[in-house]
Structure 1
Amino acid sequence: MNTLHPEHLQADYTADVVVIGAGPVGLAIANYLGQAGVQVLQIEKLDQLIDYPRAIGIDDESLRTMQAIGLVEDVLPHTTPWHAMRFLTPKGRCFADIQPMTDEFGWSRRNAFIQPQVDAVLYKGLARFDNVRTLFSRDVVEFRQDAQGVSLRMAGPEGRQETVRARYLVACDGGNSLIRRTLDISFEGKTAPNQWIVIDIANDPLGTPNVYLCCDPVRPYVSAALPHGVRRFEFMVMPGETEAELGKPENLRKLLAKVLPDPDRVELIRKRVYTHNARLAGRFRDKRVLLAGDAAHIMPVWQGQGYNSGMRDASNLGWKLALVAKGLAGEALLDTYEQERRDHAKAMIDLSVLAGHVLAPPKRWQGVLRDGVSWALNYLPAVKRYFLEMRFKPMPQYTKGALVAGKSGQATPVGRMFIQPKVVTEAGETRLLDDVIGNHFAFIAWGNDPLWGLSAAQVEGWRALGACFIQVLPQVQLKAGREVPQGVIRVGDSTGRLKEWFGRYPVSIVLLRPDRFVGAVAIAQTLGEASDGMLRALAAHPPLNQQAPLASKVA
């Protein structure tokens, strides 16, 4: 085996960032970095995108990420919005009806989708960028990192050996990540003692909407309606059963007979057996290498949060890595990725494990207790709202990282995702707030000039980072024609949601990060102080200190 010597390496490919893996997280990060002008090389072991059945649930946060990378309109045709989830007792009684109807982030909170179709949208989106290149059929053999970057050797088509030199590496290479294992990063957690067989069928033989999780003690199963007339069934694999045995036509027929009156009249797309794992990497960063998606955390499917947690990784890491790669922020900013994401990933793992225990309790008596308690609790309005509005889902709130924390003990929106209502522009257009902001930092001021509390130097510094400045008014005030400084965007609060949001807190200005999380809050007189605190949290560099990219293009 050839040994890499980075200091003497004449690489076949160079880039600012090399992304290992062309799954959804790798594709999302590559799109984000490509949009930011960063030179990206993406490497995928397979010869094409995976097309077998995987995730089927995409949430509002993930759709907001799709919006941020300019692809949401291409993703939406492959989704079913307002997708309800219903837990059934063995006798068919619904004891938990989750119908999330809130849209505070601009999109339906829970949506069905077919992952390979959306992955294809993400891959096609990379064609927009001359600074992004994807290589299939490349298997990473070894890699090393040094003070200046990362070097890789990979086996290409026909066994050809190729080398790569990049400044940073993002490992999106799955739960069995070679990168994570090579770095000897722990991956603690549990593998579920049971497996599930997934069966996807075309021309949905049931046709009923939503997803049902039947807590049958004999064999729990899931029935889910998906876009484009696809139905997914998932059945627990019982002790002693094998994938080969269950895949035989006569045994598939027995499984489908539980849910269909005519199990012989189906159009099978494919079947696959999965094992559910719950594991979390000991750390998400090792110098110039960062882990994302399944390489950093894997979880059972029951709340559909494996895919969505990966999208949160992409949204959090993408803008930070872009700033660092472009020389606008110091490497310390990359430490905040793990600070912000790891605890929430752990919370989603715990939620997914709990949902699995509700569906298939480890002990029979636990199922009996669940059914009895659920009967009573379902008639309590507060409990019904708890499930209906998905309040059990822990929303991210960062308390440390790339933010300016408030005073201890005070309720603060810092570290939470900001709402995304529709607003009216001065041109009279109704648009979602993020579409007005663009993929940037934003100062959003209720009623006031968002520049008033900032010095000229601060304004110049933030504009060098791409920030925009927005004044929000009640919609009726737009016609008053009030003058604002050049470059300030005025929008009308057509729904009242922004006024209601600002009314909850003693602040009138919010500093949004590119991932739409609140980085700092202030009133006009304290905005300068909040601005300086946020720049320190970003490890921001003066504009004149920009570091030249490693490569002028992807070779």
Structure 2
Amino acid sequence: MPDEAGRTHDLIIIGAGPVGMTIANLVAPSGIRVLLLEALPALIDYPRGVGMDDECLRSFQAAGLAERVVPHTTPHQWMEFRTAKGRTFASIRPMTEAFGWPRRNAFIQPLVDRVLLDGLSRFDNVEVRFGHEVLRFTDDGDGVDVVARGPDGTEAAFRTAWLVGADGGRSPTRKALGIDFDGITDATHWLVVDIANDPLGAPSAVLHCDPARPYVSIGLPHGIRRLEFMVMPGETEAELSGPAGLHRILGRVLPDPAAARVIRSRVYTHNARLAARFRSGRVLLAGDAAHLMPVWQGQGYNTGIRDATNLAWKLVAVLKGGCGPALLDSYEAERRDHAAAMINLSTTVGRIFAPRSRVLAALRDLGFGILRRIPPARDYVLQMRFKPMPRYRDGAAVAGSHPAVGRMFIQPRVQLAAGSQIRLDDAIGPRFAILAWAADPSAYMDDTARGIWRRLDGPILVVRSEVELGTAEAAVGPDATLVGDPSMALKQWFADAGQGVVILRPDRFVAAACAPQEISATLAALARALHLEG
């Protein structure tokens, strides 16, 4: 599929935001030829996302970029909700690292975006073109023809096997496809201000639920303070963004607003919208192009990265792994419902934070005051158990084989035979994997199952107590690798699950679970679910 320079592309991504760049970073190691087209001349630098969850960091780990991202985060970010009088009526302080990373993290998006962009320089098969606006595209069933206008006004034609629109909430890609984007746009607006050399010095994220003017105060990495204020009726963006307006509104929080070192400011409108479809032929939508949600749980950014992680391995499987295009239908089947759940959560939290009347605010404060006295209810909020976790009931998995199927697998550290301890995903790599407790399931594979597993090209890890490592009796077959379980987290998981083998997808969701002797039948079922051809 040649472009204007005679090269070919397997994948074109429209939009060099975090979602588009994450997809590119995840698919690039497979050798897929990627072209990233961005209409803007450079990365966006205005204030955007500030909350990153453990699932997101796990995705960056898969892309080999987590260690570069972490310096721009603050782990274990706490969140407090306070009344107009300053009393805390709810706290969120999750301390779990079940997926290998802290559940909540503050971060600086422009700096993380730069890590994602720099990460693409590792790959000769990825090209990024800024200042290239996509004018039109045509899907003929065998590929997609794309026409873009470059910085000098010249039009360039490209052809690709698959096209992903990761081009934001106003997505021209979605509009060109005629896909509905149903939902609501909040009538209120919010002024967002980032300030250097934090003038408050408080580490938590605090939502001040004052009906007179709700505002948010968030401590960010590198000594940056994020403040967000509700814009009241009659106020304009021009008024609030000028020096006098900024000083006036910052004066509600800072003792000396004139001395604040403002980095950037912007007025936002909150939206809650969901695309009717995430796929149309050979064109797919991801991130804000597919869904928009209010900021209250910081899940817009994270939901987009989940899209990228889910979609990336499936594109690789179709382009390089021998899976049929029908596998990509599972992207919408798996991601759309969860995006809707996150929209509902963010909308609900927004209503709690900024009720329309003082009466509702008083009732809220009373209700949460009662809940704080009930330990199970208090812990439900503190540990963030209200967050809807992805559960893929229909899609690229062996449905009904076990309750764990379609859920994200844990990520403890495992011990290698040489004695070092690493995170589980680093022991596996960004690919399929069979993980088994004690027994080597490869001993029960028939020839057909072995052929399927060779095509999926994943490792087989046998988990035992670390005290067994290094003994002659601990040996496993030539197709398997033995690892230890120093934290006993895997022992606990397999004991609770009641099954000795799980097959993990590249995005670390459980694709199937079975007993060791059922591995051949389970792999055959998985091959059908993945539309593995031939």
TM superposition score category, shorter chain reference: over 0.9
1:26 is paired with a residue whose SS is helix
Cα deviation per residue 1:353-411 (whole Å; 9 max; x = unaligned)? Answer: 0111011013432211101111111111111110111011000011010001126xxx7
2:306 is paired with a residue whose SS is helix
Cα deviation per residue 1:14-66 (whole Å; 9 max; x = unaligned)? Answer: 30000000000000001111112111000000111111110000000000000
In the alignment, which of 495, 501, 504 is matched to residue 496 of structure 2? 504
- Pair 1:156 & 2:150 matched: yes
In the alignment, which of 249, 271, 274 is matched to residue 277 of structure 1? 271
Kept after mapping to 2: 8 A contact 1:13/1:164: no
Kept after mapping to 2: 8 A contact 1:11/1:164: no
Aligned partners of 1:51, 1:183: CA distance in 2, in Å? 29
Inter-CA distance 9–94: structure 2 relative to 1 (3 Å threshold)? closer
In the alignment, which of 78, 88, 92 is matched to residue 84 of structure 1? 78
2:441 is paired with a residue whose SS is coil
Aligned partners of 1:354, 1:460: CA distance in 2, in Å? 49
The runs of at least 4 consecutive aligned structure 1 residues that moved more than 4 Å come to 8-13
1:157 shift after superposition: 1.8
Aligned partners of 1:165, 1:14: CA distance in 2, in Å? 7
Kept after mapping to 1: 8 A contact 2:211/2:357: no
The AA in structure 2 aligned to 1:471 is: V
- Pair 1:438 & 2:432 matched: no
Give the equivalent residue in structure 2 for 1:553.
Answer: none
Give the equivalent residue in structure 2 for 1:540.
Answer: 532
In the alignment, which of 34, 38, 42 is matched to residue 32 of structure 2? 38
Aligned partners of 2:333, 2:90: CA distance in 1, in Å? 34
Across the aligned residues of Structure 1 and Structure 2, the Cα RMSD in angstroms comes to 1.4
Kept after mapping to 1: 8 A contact 2:443/2:477: no
- Pair 1:330 & 2:321 matched: no
In the alignment, which of 486, 492, 509 is matched to residue 494 of structure 1? 486
1:9 shift after superposition: 8.5
Kept after mapping to 2: 8 A contact 1:12/1:162: no
Cα deviation per residue 1:523-549 (whole Å; 9 max; x = unaligned)? Answer: 01211111111111000124xxxxxxx
1:457 shift after superposition: 3.2
The AA in structure 1 aligned to 2:342 is: M
Give the equivalent residue in structure 2 for 1:451.
Answer: 442
Give the alignment's TM-score, normalised by structure 2: 0.98
Kept after mapping to 2: 8 A contact 1:19/1:43: yes
The AA in structure 2 aligned to 1:525 is: Q
1:163 is paired with a residue whose SS is strand
Cα deviation per residue 1:483-502 (whole Å; 9 max; x = unaligned)? Answer: 21213111001001001001
Kept after mapping to 1: 8 A contact 2:149/2:156: yes
Aligned partners of 2:358, 2:365: CA distance in 1, in Å? 11
The AA in structure 1 aligned to 2:94 is: P
Counting only pairs closer than 5 Å after superposition, residues 66-465 of structure 1 correspond to structure 2 as: 66-406=60-400, 412-465=403-456
- Pair 1:527 & 2:515 matched: no
In the alignment, which of 7, 10, 19 is matched to residue 25 of structure 1? 19
Cα deviation per residue 1:434-469 (whole Å; 9 max; x = unaligned)? Answer: 000001100001000031221133223212222110
Q: 506-515 or 450-459: which moved more?
A: 450-459
Cα deviation per residue 1:310-368 (whole Å; 9 max; x = unaligned)? Answer: 00001100000011112510001000000000000000000000111011013432211
Aligned partners of 2:135, 2:458: CA distance in 1, in Å? 41
Kept after mapping to 2: 8 A contact 1:192/1:275: yes
Give the equivalent residue in structure 1 for 2:471.
Answer: 480
In the alignment, which of 13, 16, 34 is matched to residue 10 of structure 2? 16
Give the equivalent residue in structure 1 for 2:505.
Answer: 513
Kept after mapping to 1: 8 A contact 2:321/2:456: no
1:77 shift after superposition: 0.4
Cα deviation per residue 1:100-152 (whole Å; 9 max; x = unaligned)? Answer: 10000000000000101001001001011111000111011111011210001
Cα deviation per residue 1:189-239 (whole Å; 9 max; x = unaligned)? Answer: 000110000011000001110100000110000000000010010000011
The AA in structure 2 aligned to 1:499 is: K
What count of residue pairs does the alignment treat as equivalent?
Answer: 533
Give the equivalent residue in structure 1 for 2:459.
Answer: 468
Aligned partners of 1:362, 1:80: CA distance in 2, in Å? 32
Give the equivalent residue in structure 2 for 1:551.
Answer: none
Kept after mapping to 2: 8 A contact 1:31/1:122: yes
Give the alignment's TM-score, normalised by structure 1: 0.94
1:472 shift after superposition: 0.2
Aligned partners of 1:150, 1:163: CA distance in 2, in Å? 11
Aligned partners of 1:198, 1:40: CA distance in 2, in Å? 34
